[in-house]
Amino acid sequence: MFKMPSDKSKVIPNVFRETCPARYLLNKISGKWSLLIVDILNDKSMRNGELMRSIEGISQKMLTQTLRDLEEIRLIKRHDMKTVPPHVEYELTDLGKSLRETICAMDRWIEHNMLEIVTNNKTIDINISH
């Protein structure tokens, strides 16, 4: 459990220090599904089912769990319309939108360079979990 010192200016942000809040956040954000969720949540808000269909391979459990985590660190906002049947929308906060730019840059880099990495590599075995 991290205790924030009363004098916040004393907290030096550094992802390489394991007791730094930045490390905690990095671990949350770099989670297997977090990057994909933040990436796909564009300016539009999305519903649970939409996210399930957009992100191949994610389970309902992991989707909910990751959405809750991202909500906790204030990257997304949950809107419950309180209707029957239920209608819930998820959207990025301003903080989330700001972070999304860096995440998208990474994802697009991977997509752009994947062939160069994979096709020139004789030993690579790509395991598809199903």
Partner DNA sequence: CCGTATCCTACCAGATACTG
Partner DNA sequence: CAGTATCTGGTAGGATACGG
Nearer to a copy of itself, 86 or 121 (CB): 121
Nearer to DNA, 17 or 68 (CB): 68
Nearer to DNA, 32 or 98 (CB): 32
3-state helix, strand, coil in the chain (%, to 5): 50, 10, 40
Hey, which residues between 17 and 46 contact DNA (CB under 7 A)?
31-33
Beta-carbon contacts of residue 90 (< 8 Å; ≥ 6 apart): 41, 45, 46, 47, 48, 51, 67, 76, 77, 78, 79
Q: Which residue has the tokens 């010192």?
A: 5
Residue 8 partner contact from DNA, a copy of itself, none using kind-dependent CB cut-offs of 5 to 8 Å: a copy of itself
Hey, which residues between 32 and 91 contact a copy of itself (CB under 8 A)?
32, 35-36, 39-40, 54-57, 72-74
